[in-house]
Amino acid sequence: MHVTMTDASAAYEETPPPPPPAEIHYSGEYSINPLGDVSFTHMCARLPSVLHRICRMAWALDRRAAALLVVCQLVTGAAAAVGLAATAHAMQSLLGAGAVSDRLHHALPALLVVTSTAALGRLAGALSSYADGRLTPQLTTCADTGLVEAVCRVESAAYATDGFADRQEAAEMGVIRTHVMVNDAQRFVSALIRMVAASGVLSTLHWAMLPLLILAVLPAGVGAVLSARVDYEMHYTNVSDRNVRHMMRWWATTPKHGDEVRANGMTGYLLFWYRSLSERIDRRLLAAAPRTLWITLLSSTAGGFFLILTWAALAWLTTTGRIELAVAATAVVAVQTTLAALSQVVINGAALFHTSLYLTDMQTFLDDAARQAPQRGELTVASVNDIRLDGVVYQYPGKDRPAVDGVSLTLRRGEIVAIVGENGSGKSTLLRLITGIYLADKGRVLWNGSDLATADQDTVWARTGLVPQLFAQWPLRVRENVTLGQPRTHHDDPVWEAIDAVGMREAVDALPSGIETLLAREVFGGAELSGGQWQRLACSRAIYRKPELLILDEPTSQMDARGEHQIFEKIKSGASDRITIVVTHQLENSKVADRIIVMEHGRITEQGRYDELADAGGLFADLLALAKDR
């Protein structure tokens, strides 16, 4: 049938609208907002511990900057106190009796103190900004690298646990907030010191002023903390959606998937999806806006009422002669100073509290990740002559049946073993168990008799080379893409040897900067390889490691016949000195193996050489017949 463009677009217009993004009803252990039933006083009580934590982190990173920051805060506070006391003194002299010149002369020393303390306060402020400028980048980097390291170091099985990615997303917010953490803390502390100093002066003028002032600012404090709580609640509700949106953003915009997106006409849907999800997130935020408005309105009204009361009280005290005019003038300055400092305490206290929520998420995630870091034992695997699997069972979290179900198997040095089986039969999971990426739920995996559950994983992985089905295309230079994870050599000969082994020399030489070329098309000066070339590079990476256990999971799925032939020749030539495992759906490739293992539903159902299995009438023979039926 011939379809014109108009037909096609008409048909498109008639189709029902695409489905919106799936609703995520996350109901795991971590789905409960930890602040759901936390009281206001409890929240305020958190501040000292937050300050303590920030100080500890800052002290550990840069003692001099941390000490400078603390000293500057103390100087600022002391300068404010002395400055205010001097102001009171000057006021009394200026508003007292006598000639103007005498009064000025009398007030001069106090005025000099006011000026000097103001200058000292400014100097301390500038120095503390400098200390903050030193500390903040270090703290942010420390939090950021700490988070990346924690995620990289957990047991692989942790990735499959309930809500791991969502909690990681929440922890990322902690890293972002680290950026403002020191500043919030510094402003909070300096405002607190200024407030204490000013309120001390105020209390000496008249006892009633301070309680009234506190009442004027307290509602704003409650309001700011409650608003922060609403904001965090929204953040918490949106965390899963934000996580999915973040992933989709990368998938939709990375050039690596650009062909698939365009040629399959997915752009419109992806944009619709992205917008729908963003609107859903916004809807929740907008629904919370009236709550925030009410909180702000009520707290401002209450604060305003008490502030009017404060000024009225001051006016009454002055007009009834209960305090002198000079004292009243000082009180005006002190009230203004205390009010400004109190407001800063409230605003920065709320900001600090807000930050603490995200820092707590970050810390909870880091603690959790530390608990999920490998704790296997000290056993060192020196070399590997045989690997024995003893009734090994592994079940992914949330699955109702094991992916590997009671596998027993022995692999010996010098042997090439092929693992075949239908999709989902458990081949890749078995490889993860053999290498100790996952630890068996039941049974044991023994390398030279050492149980992987008690062996130091780094000594195990120092002996393995793995080409996974989905290999990484690292945005690094060609050389680092081959040597990744290996100590650097003084020259490139071993790198070229690995490149030659997969027939990539010509392709690498043709790159703009040869072995130095950055393999990232997105970056200026970067270059891109074809799919098969990338796969050859992934193979060279494993070969370069000269591993005692070489595992190749569908290593030639994207390669041309020459590349595939070359890889299998290389596998054969190096086989005598290692254990080699090849997973393949190209059954002809399994001819290279000394032994073929057939997997079905997580179990080994057949074993033997190619010719034996081809005639055995089992699954292998069935799959072989299907492969030939073209």
Ligand X SMILES: Nc1ncnc2c1ncn2[C@@H]1O[C@H](COP(=O)(O)OP(=O)(O)OP(=O)(O)O)[C@@H](O)[C@H]1O
SS3 473: coil
CA distances in angstroms from 247 to 37, 241, 271, 498, listed in the order given: 31, 10, 14, 34
Whole-number minimum distance, CB 433 to ligand X, in Å?
10
Rounded-to-integer distance, Cα 366 and Cα 240, Å = 19
Q: Taking a C-beta distance cutoff of 8 angstroms, is the pair 331, 198 a contact?
A: no
Residue 349 or 421 with smaller CB distance to ligand X: 421
Alpha-carbon distance of 245 to 182, in angstroms, equals: 30
Cα dihedral 157, 159, 161, 167 sign: positive
Q: Of the ranges 75-83, 322-330, 422-430, 497-505, which one interacts with ligand X (CB under 6 A)?
A: 422-430
Looking at the Cβ atoms of 140 and 429, the one nearer to ligand X is 429
Contact between 559 and 394 (Cβ < 8 Å): no
CA distances, 369 to each of 116, 173, 363, 432, 546 (Å): 52, 16, 10, 20, 32
Query: Can you tell me the distance from the alpha carbon of 442 to that of 403, in angstroms, rounded to the nearest whole number?
Result: 12
Q: Does position 414 bind ligand X by CB under 6 A?
A: no
In the complex with ligand X, the residue whose CB is nearer, 380 or 469, is 469
Closest approach of ligand X to the CB of residue 419, in Å: 8
Q: Is 160 near ligand X (CB under 6 A)?
A: yes
Alpha carbon distance 450, 548 (integer Å)? 16
Task: Name which of residues 461 to 480 contact ligand X (CB under 6 A).
Answer: 469
Dist CA 267 CA 258 (whole Å) = 9
Nearer to ligand X, 168 or 425 (CB): 425
In the complex, the smallest distance separating the C-beta of residue 556 from ligand X, rounded to whole angstroms, is: 15
Q: Closest approach of Cβ 162 to ligand X, in Å? A: 12
Among 83, 221, 421, 547, binds ligand X (CB under 6 A): 421
Q: Strand, helix or coil at 323?
A: coil
Note the helical H segments in 254-266. Answer: 258-263
Using DSSP's 3-state secondary structure scheme, residue 255 falls into helix
Least CB distance to ligand X at residue 598 (A): 11
- Output the smallest distance, CB 423 to ligand X, in A: 3
Q: Is 425 in the site for ligand X (CB under 6 A)?
A: yes
State the minimum distance, in angstroms, from the CB of residue 487 to ligand X. Answer: 31
Tokens 């390669």 found at: 559
In the complex, minimum distance from the CB of residue 28 to ligand X, in angstroms, rounded to a whole number: 15
* CB closer to ligand X, 465 vs 468: 468
Minimum Å gap between C-beta 421 and ligand X is 6
Selected from 48, 423, 611, 629, the binder of ligand X by CB under 6 A is 423
Nearer to ligand X, 133 or 424 (CB): 424
The owner of tokens 């099985």 is 157
In the list 338, 344, 428, 589, the residue contacting ligand X (rule: CB under 6 A) is 428
Only segment of 79-87, 396-404, 435-443, 559-567 that touches ligand X (CB under 6 A): 396-404
Report the residue number, 161 or 540, with the smaller CB distance to ligand X: 161
Q: Quick one: which of 75, 110, 381, 403 contacts ligand X (CB under 6 A)?
A: 403
Residue tagged 């704003």 (tokens): 220
| Contact present, 305 and 194 (Cβ < 8 Å) | no
Alpha helix stretches (DSSP H) within 208-324 = 209-237, 239-253, 258-263, 267-319
Among 223, 426, 503, 547, binds ligand X (CB under 6 A): 426
Q: Which helix (H) or strand (E) holds 179?
A: helix 164-205
Residue selected from 206, 427, 570, 595 as contacting ligand X according to rule CB under 6 A: 427
- CB of residue 424 vs ligand X: minimum separation in angstroms? 4
For ligand X, the closer of residues 303 and 426 by Cβ is: 426
**Which DSSP category does 444 fall into?**
E
Question: What is the separation of C-alpha 387 from the centre of its chain, rounded to a whole number of angstroms?
Answer: 36
Considering only 66-74, 99-107, 192-200, 417-425, which stretch makes contact with ligand X by CB under 6 A? Answer: 417-425
Choice between 107 and 403, CB closer to ligand X: 403
399 binds ligand X (CB under 6 A): yes
Nearer to ligand X, 395 or 486 (CB): 395
Q: Report the residue number, 174 or 421, with the smaller CB distance to ligand X.
A: 421
Between 175 and 403, whose beta carbon lies closer to ligand X? 403
User: How many chain residues bind ligand X (CB under 6 A)?
Assistant: 13
Task: Please choose, out of 71-79, 124-132, 426-434, 607-615, the segment that lies near ligand X by the rule CB under 6 A.
Answer: 426-434
Question: Half-sphere exposure of 242 toward its Cβ, with a 13 Å CA cutoff?
Answer: 18
Q: Say whether residue 581 binds ligand X (CB under 6 A).
A: no
Q: List the one residue from 243, 429, 556, 589 that touches ligand X (CB under 6 A).
A: 429
Q: How far apart are CA 512 and CA 518, in angstroms?
A: 9
Q: Whole-number minimum distance, CB 409 to ligand X, in Å?
A: 15
- 29 token code pair: 């252990």
Residue of 133, 424, 512, 531 interacting with ligand X (CB under 6 A): 424
* 477 DSSP assignment: B
| CA distance readout (Å), 528 to 387, 505, 512 | 38, 15, 11
604 binds ligand X, rule: CB under 6 A = no
Q: Tell me how far, at minimum, the Cβ of 160 lies from ligand X, in Å.
A: 5
Three-class SS of residue 288? helix
Closest CA to 457 of 371, 367, 373: 373
d(CA 206, CA 322): 9
For the CB of residue 172, give the shortest distance to ligand X in the complex, in Å. Answer: 22
Which of 105/399 has CB closer to ligand X?
A: 399
- Is residue 542 within 8 A of residue 552, CB to CB? The reply is yes
> C-beta of 472: minimal distance to ligand X in Å?
16
By beta-carbon proximity to ligand X, the closer residue of 482 and 598 is: 598
Of positions 396, 446, 526, 603, contacts ligand X by CB under 6 A:
396
CA pair distance 519, 480, nearest whole angstrom:
10
Encoded amino acid at 321, one letter: G
CA angle 77, 80, 83 (to 5 degrees): 150
Orientation of helix 531-544 relative to helix 493-501, angle to 10°: 130
**Is 41 one of the binding residues for ligand X (CB under 6 A)?**
no
In the bound state with ligand X, the residue whose beta carbon lies nearer, of 428 and 590, is 428
Where along the sequence are the contacts to ligand X (CB under 6 A)?
160, 396, 399, 403, 421, 423-429, 469
